[in-house]
């Protein structure tokens, strides 16, 4: 192609120079400055002392500047940050511990209060039971007393009645005897007979 | 001249800005030195200014700085353990320097410091030099255990030691060439495709229409180069960490 060949003409001497690197002044036509000696510039030993010297000066100063100024500062920034993060994490852990302790204390208090409430309830329950028991006993005692009295009165009434029974039996017996036998029977006789029968 | 505009090597030329000559050595302040200074200034200013508020909750820029710091910190700790953290400033400086140099190089008309092998080699030699010096001062001759892996049969040992030595010696080379070659190749490719756009557009209406394709390609390549710029800085730092780990723990 037309274009490529045109370029090849221009670039050929240069690439040739790059390969051989030892050509003389044959390439002066390509505009190479006089101090380059027509040599591939990176391989020109004439420039070595100057480049090494300035490399040593610039890199040396750069190294010192980084070592003395930049790196302590960067290291400081990063240390401060990591310290701060550690501190914050510690504080968070501490606060969490405090919160946990508070929760535990609250739960303990709650448990204590529950236990207290239970004992109070139990006590009230026991007291109420004891009171009820006492009242029941009192009532029972009163009832027992009344029962005893009633029984005693029944017994006395019964005894009286039994006593009456003798008289009634004597009366009845005398009436029967009178009706059957006729005539009067001695009162004492009948009483004795009744007594012997009742026995 | 059209050739001037599309010469993909032109961007790598060293231009003397302030000529300095000491004892026969050319120590001029060049465009390369200028961009080294720019790299250091940009990186330093960014790191310094973005963290100046020292906020507990970082803003956008501060989080970028923090991300870089923690990224390199984790990288080093994973590779070399907590003992390796004494090299943290060194690795962080290397990472930031290479990263910012790579990124600055992506701007049009800017010089890419890391596209010169002597610069990447200088950095790699610094890494390996640190490893060797620290290894010997810390472990004495015990550092040489690095070349004698455990559990290797005795008759294989000479061969394995030789391989280990060669692999160790080739480290600075591979470390520097990897970064250099990536930056160089990327920038040449970018320049070539941008060159297509310029030379095609010079051909009239058809050429302008046809230049859309290389233009799209150049845009895509720029995105790729952005990734490569970051990736190579990362690779350089990771390998540095692994080599430092060898200095700290020579026994495999």
Q: What is the pLDDT of residues A28-78, one digit of tens each?
A: 334 444 444 467 888 888 888 899 999 999 999 999 999 999 999 999 999
Of B47, B123, B126, the CB nearest to A70: B47
Classify B54 in phi/psi space as left (phi over 0), alpha (psi -120 to 50) or beta.
left
* Cβ–Cβ below 8 Å for A55 and B36: yes
* Cβ–Cβ below 8 Å for A74 and B200: no
Instruction: Give the pLDDT of residue B249.
Output: 87
Per-residue pLDDT at A187 exceeds 90: no
Per-residue pLDDT at A117 exceeds 90: yes
Place of tokens 């001029």: B28
* Cβ–Cβ below 8 Å for A3 and B200: yes
By the CB < 8 Å criterion, does B4 face chain A? yes
For residue B116, give the DSSP letter: S
* Structure ipTM: 0.89
- The average confidence (pLDDT) of chain A is 80
Cα dihedral sign for B217, B39, B235, A82?
negative
Place of tokens 């994973």: B78
- Dihedral angle of Cα A17, A21, A24, A27, to the nearest 10 degrees: 20
Half-sphere exposure of B113 (CA within 13 A, CB side): 30
Please state, as a whole number, how many other Cβ atoms lie within 10 Å of the Cβ of residue B211: 20
* Element at B22 (helix H, strand E): strand B21-22
- The average confidence (pLDDT) of chain B is 90
Q: Which of B237, B224, B251 is nearest to B175 (CA)?
A: B237
Query: How many angstroms separate the CA of residue B240 from the nearest CA in chain A?
Result: 15
For residue B56, give the DSSP letter: S
Query: How many angstroms separate the CA of residue A8 from the nearest CA in chain B?
Result: 10
Per-residue pLDDT at A5 exceeds 50: no
Which of A1, A5, A6, A7 best tests the B interface by mutation, with the highest count of B CBs <10 A? A7
Long-range pairs of A60-68 with CB within 8 A, sequence gap ≥ 24: A61/B40, A62/B39, A62/B40, A62/B43, A62/B44, A62/B93, A62/B96, A62/B97, A63/B89, A63/B90, A63/B93, A65/B40, A65/B44, A65/B48, A66/B44, A66/B47, A66/B89, A66/B92, A66/B93, A66/B96, A67/B89, A67/B93
Q: Parallel, antiparallel, or unpaired for β B25-26 and B21-22?
A: antiparallel
Cβ under 8 Å to A: B residues 54-113: 54-56, 58, 62, 65-66, 69-70, 88-90, 92-93, 96-97
Q: Which of A31, A26, A2 is nearest to B8 (CA)?
A: A31
* A40 φ/ψ angles, rounded to the nearest 5 degrees: -60, 115
* Cβ–Cβ below 8 Å for B3 and A58: no
Cβ under 8 Å to B: A residues 7-36: 7, 10-11, 14-15, 17-18, 29-33, 35-36
Q: Are B60 and B48 in contact (CB under 8 A)?
A: no
Q: Which of B252, B245, B231 is nearest to B127 (CA)?
A: B245
Cβ under 8 Å to A: B residues 218-247: none
User: How do the residues of chain B divide into helix, strand and coil, expressed in percent and rounded to 5?
Assistant: 80, 5, 20
Instruction: Give the pLDDT of residue A168.
Output: 81
Q: What percent of chain A has pLDDT over 90?
A: 54
* Cβ–Cβ below 8 Å for B115 and A74: no
| CB burial readout B235-251, b (16+ within 10 A) else e | bbbbbbbbbbbbbbbbe
Q: Are B245 and B84 in contact (CB under 8 A)?
A: yes
**Residues B28-85: pLDDT tens digits?**
899 999 999 999 999 999 999 999 888 888 889 999 999 999 999 999 999 998 998 9
Query: How many angstroms separate the CA of residue A95 from the nearest CA in chain B?
Result: 23
Q: Are A39 and A22 in contact (CB under 8 A)?
A: yes
User: Residue B200, class by beta-carbon neighbours within 10 Å (0-12 exposed, 13-18 middle, 19+ buried)?
Assistant: buried
* Cβ–Cβ below 8 Å for A74 and B69: yes
By the CB < 8 Å criterion, does B8 face chain A? yes
Place of tokens 């006729």: A182
Mean pLDDT, range A94-103, rounded to an integer: 96
Q: Which residue of A has its CA nearest to B56?
A: A81
Q: Are B171 and B236 in contact (CB under 8 A)?
A: no
Please state, as a whole number, how many other Cβ atoms lie within 10 Å of the Cβ of residue B210: 17
Q: Which of B16, B112, B24, B22 is nearest to A35 (CA)?
A: B16
Partner residues linked to B136 by β-bridges: none
Of B14, B27, B96, the CB nearest to A41: B14
* Cβ–Cβ below 8 Å for B90 and A14: no
A24 — pLDDT class (breaks 50, 70, 90): very low
Partner residues linked to B25 by β-bridges: B22
Mean pLDDT, range A131-142, rounded to an integer: 95
Per-residue pLDDT at A93 exceeds 60: yes
By the CB < 8 Å criterion, does A91 face chain B? no
Please state, as a whole number, how many other Cβ atoms lie within 10 Å of the Cβ of residue A199: 5
First vs last C-alpha separation in chain A? 171
Q: Tell me the three state secondary structure of residue B100.
A: helix
Mean pLDDT, range A102-109, rounded to an integer: 96
Count of all residues that appear for chain B in the document: 252
């Amino acid at each position: 192609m037309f274009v490529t060949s045109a370029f090849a003409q221009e670039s050929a001497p240069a690439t040739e120079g790059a390969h051989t690197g030892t050509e003389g002044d044959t390439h002066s036509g390509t505009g190479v400055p006089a101090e380059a000696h027509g040599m591939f510039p990176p391989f020109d030993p004439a420039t070595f002392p100057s480049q090494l010297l300035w490399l040593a000066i610039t890199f040396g100063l750069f190294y010192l500047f980084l070592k003395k100024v930049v790196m302590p500062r960067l290291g400081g920034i990063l240390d401060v940050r990591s310290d701060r993060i550690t501190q914050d994490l510690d504080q968070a852990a501490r606060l969490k511990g405090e919160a946990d302790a508070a929760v535990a204390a609250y739960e303990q208090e709650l448990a204590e209060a529950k236990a207290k409430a239970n004992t109070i309830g139990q006590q009230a329950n026991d007291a109420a039971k004891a009171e009820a028991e006492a009242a029941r006993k009192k009532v029972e005692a009163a009832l027992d007393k009344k029962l005893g009295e009633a029984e005693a009165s029944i017994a006395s009434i019964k005894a009286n009645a039994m006593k009456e029974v003798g008289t009634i039996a004597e009366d009845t017996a005398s009436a029967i005897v009178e009706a059957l036998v006729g005539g009067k029977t001695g009162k004492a006789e009948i009483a004795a007979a009744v007594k012997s029968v009742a026995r | 001249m059209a050739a001037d505009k599309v010469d993909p090597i032109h961007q790598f030329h060293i231009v003397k800005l302030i000529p300095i000559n000491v004892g026969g050595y050319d120590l001029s302040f060049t465009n390369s030195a200028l961009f080294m200074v720019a790299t250091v200034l940009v990186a330093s200013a960014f790191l310094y200014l973005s963290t100046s508020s020292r906020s507990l909750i970082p803003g956008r820029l501060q989080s970028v700085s923090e991300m870089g710091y923690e990224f390199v910190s984790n990288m080093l700790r994973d590779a070399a353990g907590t003992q390796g953290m004494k090299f943290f400033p060194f690795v962080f400086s290397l990472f930031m320097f290479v990263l910012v140099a790579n990124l600055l190089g992506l701007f049009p008309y800017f010089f890419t410091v890391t596209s010169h092998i002597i610069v990447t080699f200088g950095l790699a030699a610094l890494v390996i030099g640190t490893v060797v010096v620290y290894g010997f001062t810390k472990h004495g001759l015990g550092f040489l255990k690095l070349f004698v892996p455990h559990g290797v049969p005795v008759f294989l040992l000479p061969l394995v030691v030789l391989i280990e030595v060669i692999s160790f010696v080739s480290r600075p080379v591979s470390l520097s060439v990897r970064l250099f070659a990536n930056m160089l190749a990327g920038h040449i490719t970018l320049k070539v495709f941008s060159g297509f756009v310029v030379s095609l557009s010079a051909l009239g209406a058809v050429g302008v229409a046809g230049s859309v394709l290389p233009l799209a390609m150049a845009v895509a390549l720029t995105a790729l180069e952005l990734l490569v710029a970051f990736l190579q800085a990362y690779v350089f730092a990771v390998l540095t960490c692994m080599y430092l780990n060898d200095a700290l723990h020579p026994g495999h």
